[in-house]
Chain A
Amino acid sequence: MAPQDRLTATFTRAERVAPTPLRSIPQLRVDGLSVSYGPHEVVTNVSFELGRGESLALIGESGSGKSTIARAVLRLLPSGGHATGRVAFDGQEVLGISERGFRPLRGRAIGFVPQDPANSLNPVRTIGAQAQEAAALLDEPDKAIRKQLILETFAQVGLDTPLRVYDSYPHQLSGGMLQRVLIGLAILPRPALLVADEPTSALDVTIQKRILDLLTRLQHDLKISLLLITHDLAIAAERADALVVLKDGVIQEAGRTASVFSSPASAYAKKLRADVPALNPDRYAALRDTGFRSLKTGQAPKIEVSAVTKTFTVDGKALTAVDDLSFSVPAGTTHALVGESGSGKTTTVRLLLGLEGPDTGSISVAGEQITGRSPEALRTVWRHLQLVYQNPFTSLDPTWTIERLVREPLDRFKIGTRKERDERVREALADVGLGEHLLSRKPGALSGGQRQRVAIARSLVLKPDVIVLDEPTSALDVSVQAGIVEVLLSLQTTLGLTYVFVSHDLALVRQLAHTVSVMHRGRIVEHGTVADIFDNPQQPYTRSLLASIPSGGDDVAHMRTRAFG
């Protein structure tokens, strides 16, 4: 017997609180739901329906209220949150009933898969101990049988060694495995509805695809309805039957995926569709033109990395972060370093800037050797080589004003008079599209996108030749990302900058890079122009990376219906 059948046969499912369901009653029906935290209303009059066995995606950027809606359905709003409206699960009202009345539903009939697997499990208890908590919902008195059920569920979600996982601690497992564990624990009591709050945004792109495939398979095997929360329109288009697009707590557009996706009606949905990198690979073709021409004319390389190796010793063991790395970047182009976590991208960035010294090999930027330089000598190189960090929330000193932050490089390198420096600061801010009224503010008053623009302005103010960008938009929403990418590309066209762009987001790389190096476990697996890599990948790793990009294409949706009926 297949594991899932044995599971179903082992215990009865008579404990469903709802009356005998009719096919016409939707699994979940939300009517006029409004949620407010104190005086602020974060969700306004949201209504949607989720049919039995179907999947619905709530799409929106950060602050759109999608997670709040999920938590309101599960009645897990933080203190201070107040929900009004009607939420009917299986025809039965659940928002207005008491906590005692709702508790039998939570976990048993309505399951939840959280966003960050690493932070959702208790680090000082084994997986097994925490799984027993979920198994307690089964009303199975025998501990041995409960353990057996847990192990069978682990096998069902694709964990190859269930017993080893059972005895492990969370830190001993990878992010993908932890998320599988959490999905397993969520489906263990066989819920009718599964709420998944951005289940893959903390994971690498290849793992992301596998987890989403798992969710789709479980959804069809176990006839679970899925409420998927995501910011990624492409993922939603691939995996959901219906879409609800949210902005600032208000529904912008709702309907079947095919219609919303192919012909969005609202302005916001149209903009969202235009901003998703996976769906618009040639959006910036005009801005990238100068770079491609530089590539063709075979300019002298601005950056040359040859045979660089760097090994770290961690806990007595040697870890090769970067192994025999070589690439070169012509002036005026954007070179992308693509790889998943652990591929050595961050180490490469630090080596490029001279923050770490390689064990072997040499690096030269703008004709100057980086390797083997003392910190004082490196300082002169940094006048022409700058770095934009990944996290705009930590890379700006929170106690400084924007004006002082952007002026800092000029002050440190003693460039120009005070008046000239002020002038350059204004110029840099105008270049990135920020108004002068922000000069006297502190970073705390700015949004993430604005902060990252300030970081870019700060790197520009020295007028460097090369800017290294370490995943500059991964902490930002997709629309904000689109704005920043446009800024970067237009600056490259006007100022002739050379970029090294590190990212795990292949779709984004396709939009803005000229040449690409694919990294895996510290080595460059494949190297070439964007067209070469994306249209004609040679290596199997590159191909699997490309296959993981959610394209929201019709081909995938059709594959889904064909496979699962």
Chain B
Amino acid sequence: MTLVSVSSSPRITAISRLTALRVPPTVALAFAVIAIVIAWSLAPSLFTSHDPASGVPADKLLGPSAAHWFGTDHLGRDLYTRVVYGTASSVTSALIAVVIAAVAGGLIGLLAGFLGGWMDIVLARLVDVLLAIPNFLLAVIVVTAIGFDTTNAAVATGVSAVAVFARVMRSEVIKTRQAVFVEASFLMGGSRWHILLRHVLPNASRSVLPLAVLQFGLSILVIASLAFLGYGDPPPASDWGLLISIGKDYLKWPWLVYAPAFVTIATVLSANRISRWLRKTD
């Protein structure tokens, strides 16, 4: 007599799982936008043949047309090319910022949540201090301290986002720590560190991914704002924020502001949409 039992819900097969993971059209669009942005940052020369740094002065301040998709700026440079070449620093910086925030914040949250007691109190108050300082102000202070560079702006943004990750990770860890399977592992001879690294961390970090995607979008905004104020790479770099900053002096030719702004908005909205979708499918 065999006691092998077949799964009583045949609907949970691999095929139906894929169809259940059906991507809504807005999410597919968001993925496409992010894919284009990442492609721009990795290989900008594939997308455009113009030069971002030098232009033809005779062609200055032309409106958007078939030859120049976003028009030209006050020095005759193709704006589309400048946006594409500026993506690298914007996106890479945002990624650096998110990685710093996720790793540092995650570690702080993990230790605070798992160890509890004095460690928890000290770390949580440290996080409170970070949260009390306005995000942007903290980023400006850090950049002023370590130098005017987009990479430094990225580090600054990352530091200011550490608090968010720490808070989320800490609450997830506290929740997971009380799970039944954690106690079960304890009964099976698991040591504290084994439980922390092998049980608590994988479960608690499941909610960190949507947060990281969201923070990616926010970091792009902060870095663009820092560049707008001049805290990023100096010209002739073409950070999106710097482009908007240059464009604000030429408001009679609005595409100089609209084009980089539109690209920034599209990227951040796409990151938001993907983050929301990730939360729902988890």
B67 at the interface (CB under 8 A from A): no
B202 at the interface (CB under 8 A from A): yes
Residues of B within 8 A of A355 (CB): 183, 187
A411 to chain B, nearest CB (A): 9
Interface size on A, residues (CB 8 A): 37
Residues of B within 8 A of A63 (CB): 8-9
Residues of A within 8 A of B7 (CB): 445-447, 450
Kindly report which residue of chain B lies nearest to residue A462, judged by CB atoms: B188
- Which one of B3, B183, B189, B202 contacts A409 once the chains associate, using CB atoms below 8 Å? B189
Residues of B within 8 A of A395 (CB): 180-181, 184
Interface size on B, residues (CB 8 A): 25
- Which one of B3, B8, B181 contacts A397 once the chains associate, using CB atoms below 8 Å? B181
B189 pairs with A412, CB closer than 8 A: yes
Residues of B within 8 A of A394 (CB): 179-181
A458 pairs with B181, CB closer than 8 A: no
A449 pairs with B189, CB closer than 8 A: no
A449 pairs with B190, CB closer than 8 A: no
User: Which residues 398-445 of A have a CB within 8 angstroms of B?
Assistant: 398-399, 408-409, 412-413, 432-435, 445
Complex Cα gap A389–B202 (Å)? 22
Residues of B within 8 A of A432 (CB): 3
- Which one of B9, B11, B180, B191 contacts A389 once the chains associate, using CB atoms below 8 Å? B180
A125 at the interface (CB under 8 A from B): no
B180 pairs with A391, CB closer than 8 A: yes
A187 to chain B, nearest CB (A): 36
Kindly report which residue of chain A lies nearest to residue B7, judged by CB atoms: A447
Complex Cα gap A483–B6 (Å)? 12
B3 pairs with A413, CB closer than 8 A: no
From A143-151, A308-316, A379-387, A503-511, the one touching the partner chain is: A379-387
A487 at the interface (CB under 8 A from B): yes
B179 pairs with A435, CB closer than 8 A: no
> What is the 8 Å Cβ interface bit string for chain B, positions 197-227, against chain A (1 contact, 0 not)?
0010011001000000000000000000000
**Given contact pairs A387-B184, A387-B187, A445-B12, A398 touches B3 in the complex (Cβ within 8 A):** no
Residues of A within 8 A of B8 (CB): 63, 447, 449, 480
Residues of B within 8 A of A483 (CB): 3, 5
User: Which residues 447-465 of A have a CB within 8 angstroms of B?
Assistant: 447, 449-450, 453, 458, 462
Residues of A within 8 A of B187 (CB): 353, 355, 382, 386-387
Of listed B3, B7, B12, B190, residue having the most chain A CB within 10 A: B3
B3 pairs with A433, CB closer than 8 A: yes
Q: Can you list 15 A-B pairs with a CB-CB distance of less than 8 A?
A: A355-B183, A382-B187, A386-B188, A391-B180, A395-B181, A395-B184, A396-B184, A397-B199, A399-B203, A413-B188, A432-B3, A433-B5, A446-B7, A447-B5, A447-B9
